[in-house]
Amino acid sequence: LPAVVTFYTDWLWFGETGFQQVFLGTLKAQSQLGAAAMGLAFVVLFVNMLIALRTLAPRDWVVVTREGPISISLDRRKVQPAATAVVGVLAVLFGVWASSQWQAWLMFRNAQPFGDSDPILGYDIGFYVFRLPFLESARGFALALVFVAAAAAGAIYALAGAINWTRGARIGRPVRRHAAALAACAFLVLAFGAYLDVPELLIRPAGIIHGVANVDAAVRIP
């Protein structure tokens, strides 16, 4: 209800000031970015879920209650609907977070060159104003997606018994392959983040100055 009241108030305010099309533009950007991020997150998490569910063989779990032990039969057909629902909720959360980055997305999509370059890396000044903020957000989104996919897959593998902790960590071969692929994706995202850290040095504070210090130019950037 508070969200509806806030939306309606903003709608009236933009209408009174004659900028209702601007308000609609922000809503369109939020919905497009949120839907794209939600779809991407759902596909990535769903594929990882299906890969992990391959190791789930039919098995019985015994749960002790006050009425006595109860046997619960677990198989892929019973677990997959619940896992898909969890994936859907996680994808919605990713979409909601991504929609909050609509300003960075609009600046990235409508980026214009300044016609002047920085003296250190040679990038146009417009890159730092329009493109770098969205690239940083995309880096954070991708890294979070990889870690959530790894956590979800790990939970399914533990449920399937593919990870056995009774006598040390016994990890099956499918789990190792899946974990290696996710680790490779994580390292690629971290490498992309390291690439973005170089131009970030030009705009972040360095002691009492703002920008590249002598140590940055001589050591950190190379």
Token readout for 27 is 């809503």
What pLDDT sits at residue 161? 75
Looking at the DSSP bridge assignments, the partners of residue 71 are: 62
d(CA 69, CA 114): 72
Average pLDDT taken over every residue of the chain: 88
What pLDDT sits at residue 156? 86
* Neighbour tally for 36: CB within 10 Å: 14
Residue 58 has pLDDT above 80, yes or no: no
Higher pLDDT, 164 or 155: 155
The string of pLDDT tens digits covering residues 79-116 is 888 889 999 999 999 999 999 999 999 999 999 999 99
pTM across the whole model: 0.84
- pLDDT band for position 168 (50/70/90)? low
Q: What is the mean pLDDT of residues 10-35?
A: 93
DSSP labels for 100-135? TTHHHHHHHHT----S-B-TTT--BHHIIIIIHHHH
Q: What is the mean pLDDT of residues 42-47?
A: 96
Question: In the chain, what's the furthest Cα-to-Cα distance?
Answer: 77
Residue 175 has pLDDT above 80, yes or no: yes
d(CA 149, CA 74): 22
- pLDDT band for position 11 (50/70/90)? very high
Higher pLDDT, 50 or 65: 50
CB of 74 closer than 8 Å to CB of 56: yes
Residue 78 has pLDDT above 80, yes or no: no
d(CA 40, CA 43): 5
What pLDDT sits at residue 60? 66
Higher pLDDT, 128 or 168: 128
Residue 39 has pLDDT above 70, yes or no: yes
d(CA 186, CA 150): 10
H or E element, residue 205 = strand 205-206
Higher pLDDT, 198 or 211: 198
Q: What is the mean pLDDT of residues 10-32?
A: 93
Q: What is the mean pLDDT of residues 39-43?
A: 97
Q: What is the mean pLDDT of residues 24-44?
A: 95
What pLDDT sits at residue 72? 67
